[in-house]
Structure 1
Amino acid sequence: MRWEERVTKKIELTLACGDYEIVRALKEGDVRPDGIDLTILTEMDSTTRHWRFLRNGEFDVAEVSLSSYIAAKTRGLPFAAIPVFLHRRFRHGFIFTNTQSGIREPKDLIGRKVGVKSYLVTATLWLRGLLESEYGVPHKSIDWYAELDEDVDFTPPEGLRLHRLPDNQSVEQMLLDGEIDALLHPDLIEPIVRRDPRVGRLFADYKREEIAYCKRTGIFPIMHVLGIRPEIVERHPWVPINLFQAFNEAKRIAMRRMENPRIVPLAWYREAWEEQQEILGDDPWAYGLDGQNRKTLETVVGYAHEQGLIDRKVPLSELFLDVSQGRKRGDKHRV
């Protein structure tokens, strides 16, 4: 190998993540992490990606469920994470009810049958935590029915009534048929999209609930983190920081692009953008462990511990790699 080839060679990594606007610049090659050649895979759904990373270790770097990652990490499984949060979402609008169940307010869920896609999924971890801490609905007061197996092996703690459904049963169909009373789900379910009258939302004005929650707590719930195989970090300790910087740059480009209302086919898009800024600030998708991100992550770790997903409150320094490079360092401080 010639000297020129040796000094220009980059390490090759696979990255599996969602096809988001905030990663577009990475996917299209406008942003390239220094020293890294990425093969980016975006054509798979979240649950498949999480399973293939946490169970099979198929990717070098992957966007992965926060709750499943926390569970994996505390069980000593070989994963690490970079504090890049590609997916956040308020969750009050994802509690669905059978309209004949008589459920009108959160406390009506006590003693009921409630479905989940899987018990460890981050969306339902947040929702169980919100229902318990904000509305007085203990998670052990509900009979839970899970459709999928878990990304990480999980033994229900004492007192938790968790039932695994056979392959021929779907929580969405069970909700329609009245076999369960409610459903906590990470996505919009088909009956809601079709406006099926048999299914509604627990919070009709869920946006108002979410805004009030955000203003009261400062939390914009984090759903996913950026997982990385630890052997890559051991071999190339500079990789996490370079990836962190590249994801930040891709997000900066995306946010600047999205300020232009001409690119989005929505009549009142600019008004929605300005409303988001007013409520969430200029960078709702901030990465790193500073400020509200720390509070948000410590809150969800607390929920995971309270609900028996983990046996101790693991500190963030154990969960996330250090991507700092000292105070006032970087290109913007270069003279």
Structure 2
Amino acid sequence: MTKKVELTLACGDYEIVRALKEGTVRPDGIELTILTEMDSTTRHWRFLRNGEFDVAEVSLSSYMAAKTRGLPFDAIPVFLHRRFRHGFIFTHTASSIREPKDLIGRKVGVKSYLVTASLWLRGLLEGEYGVPHQSIEWYSELDEDVDYTLPSGLKLHKIAEDKSIEQMLVDGEIDALLHPDLIAPIKKRDPRVGRLFPNYKAEEIAYYERTGIFPIMHVMGIRPDIVVRHPWVPINLYIAFEEAKQVAMKRMENPRIVPLAWYREAWEEQQAILGDDPWAYGVEGQNARTLETVIGYAHQQGLIDRKVAISDLFLDVSQGRKRGDKHRV
């Protein structure tokens, strides 16, 4: 039997990778050990700091910071995690913050400064609502995935080890919080915490209709030594991720698999607004505009020292025109 290349893949436990995890889709020539039990911040750190995995879903912003600093990482344009972010700006309700410009001069927390959700939100606040990122005093909770030098003029404080950035918001020690996840005070309906955009879905739809951008959060990192030894691996992985996604999208058409009363209506609404494949991979079409936008934000905010080309961030996974199984005769 032909020996396959054995690789470790660390990623989130998403529906769009279920077929890979269960083995119904297998990348040609590759045997995957798939790790899905880590939270995102742990996975990013262990890949970017320790190089523990051959392939890993990783923060786009941290990957850009690593890549432009010459650290040994590559990526393929597989985007397992996207998310609109207007609903993730949380405020202390007694802070009198009612609109984005009220954030100017305030104390605002982030999980970490490099995290992609914060990068997108700072870019949105500055580009869409006129809130310069340097007009805010920032408070960060976690160590960064990649070491970097703070841009001049940026006010950023690391909170004490025994502090929680979410509790600081509840207690009014900070005025607002940009966070990648739905925070506990919101889940518990704590009246001391609210959202900057209460009707965030309408804001997000309007943003998409205006820009065509569905923000990319994570990319698929790969160690360069794997690519050097097996240059065919990136394309074969890319094909497998695409196949797994198509299996998932087909499965998700069935409303019986999801315990939501109006799931089918939500599915159809998503299709009407975002199209048939909002999780498109690759660097063509609208993905190019999305990536150019976030690269611009990263440069503007000092996370990278130049506007890097998309082709410098991602390995080429193209196969040429009209090639692949669907064109086989």
Q: Which residue of 1 aligns with 2:237?
A: 243
Q: Which residue of 2 aligns with 1:145?
A: 139
Q: Which residue of 2 aligns with 1:37?
A: 31
Q: Which amino acid aligns with 1:145?
A: Y
What CA deviation, in whole Å up to 9, does each residue of 1:102-160 have, x standing for no partner?
00000000000000000000000000000000000000000000000100002110000
Give SS of 1:100's match: helix
- Structure 1 residue 182 corresponds to structure 2 residue 172: no
- TM normalised by structure 2 equals 1.00
Q: Which amino acid aligns with 1:307?
A: Q
* Distance (Å, rounded) in 1 between the aligned partners of 2:181 and 2:59: 14
What CA deviation, in whole Å up to 9, does each residue of 1:182-220 have, x standing for no partner?
000000000000000000000000000000000000000
**1:17 aligned to which of 2, 11, 19:** 11
- TM normalised by structure 1 equals 0.98
What CA deviation, in whole Å up to 9, does each residue of 1:69-125 have, x standing for no partner?
000000000000000000000000000000000000000000000000000000000
Structural mapping, 1:68-79, within 5 Å: 68-79=62-73
* Distance (Å, rounded) in 1 between the aligned partners of 2:163 and 2:176: 15
**2:86 aligned to which of 85, 92, 108:** 92
- Structure 1 residue 163 corresponds to structure 2 residue 157: yes
Q: Which amino acid aligns with 1:170?
A: S
Q: Which residue of 1 aligns with 2:323?
A: 329
**2:104 aligned to which of 110, 127, 151:** 110
* Distance (Å, rounded) in 2 between the aligned partners of 1:153 and 1:165: 17
Moved over 4 A (4+): none
Deviates more, 1:69-78 or 1:153-162: 153-162
Please report how far the alpha carbon of residue 163 of structure 1 lies from its aligned counterpart in structure 2 after TM superposition: 0.5
Please report how far the alpha carbon of residue 166 of structure 1 lies from its aligned counterpart in structure 2 after TM superposition: 1.7
- Structure 1 residue 47 corresponds to structure 2 residue 41: yes
Give SS of 1:195's match: coil
Matched residue count: 329
**2:312 aligned to which of 314, 318, 328:** 318
* Distance (Å, rounded) in 2 between the aligned partners of 1:264 and 1:13: 32
Q: Which residue of 2 aligns with 1:67?
A: 61
Structure 2 residues without counterparts, runs of 5 or longer? none
Give SS of 1:221's match: coil
Give SS of 1:159's match: coil
Identity score, percent: 84
Structure 1 residues without counterparts, runs of 5 or longer? none
* Distance (Å, rounded) in 1 between the aligned partners of 2:5 and 2:255: 38
Q: Which residue of 1 aligns with 2:200?
A: 206
Give SS of 2:220's match: strand
Q: Which residue of 2 aligns with 1:268?
A: 262
Q: Which amino acid aligns with 1:142?
A: I
* Distance (Å, rounded) in 1 between the aligned partners of 2:73 and 2:49: 11
* Distance (Å, rounded) in 1 between the aligned partners of 2:174 and 2:24: 48
